[in-house]
Structure 1
Amino acid sequence: MKFKVIGEITDIQTIAKGSGMEIRRELVRHYGHGNWRKLKGCAPVEYENGEIWLVELHWFEAQGIGRRR
């Protein structure tokens, strides 16, 4: 189900970085070299059916490349 982040992402924490991430090679291949980190945070999202929920989001980020996935 698709969703849209409708508010600010809060409580952001790094949960993995560097060689500790299994997906690092794929990130480098698709987006380029960088100091990749996996982060998590909470934000309100709106689903396609109009429901709004506070959820925990996970994403990857690298300086100079930005957020991905």
Structure 2
Amino acid sequence: MADLDALRLRFARSLEAVRAPAGGPDPAPYADALLARWQEPQRHYHTVAHLTAVLDHVDVLRTYAADPDVV
């Protein structure tokens, strides 16, 4: 099972990093809405577990990127 709190935190940190220093609205409602959609019953492959796995791979590959923030 995916750690939803970790995904929410990851979403918030990523969003805040790209919009800093301008700031913006609280990312929590947006993260919750996205995660709710990723947990819909018709999803059999693109689930929060799949999302977590993809993001974990991105973290590994970003070390090879010339501009990691773009990744």
Q: What TM-score does the superposition give when structure 2 sets the normalisation length?
A: 0.25
RCO comparison, higher one (Cα < 8 Å, 6+): 1
Q: What TM-score does the superposition give when structure 1 sets the normalisation length?
A: 0.25
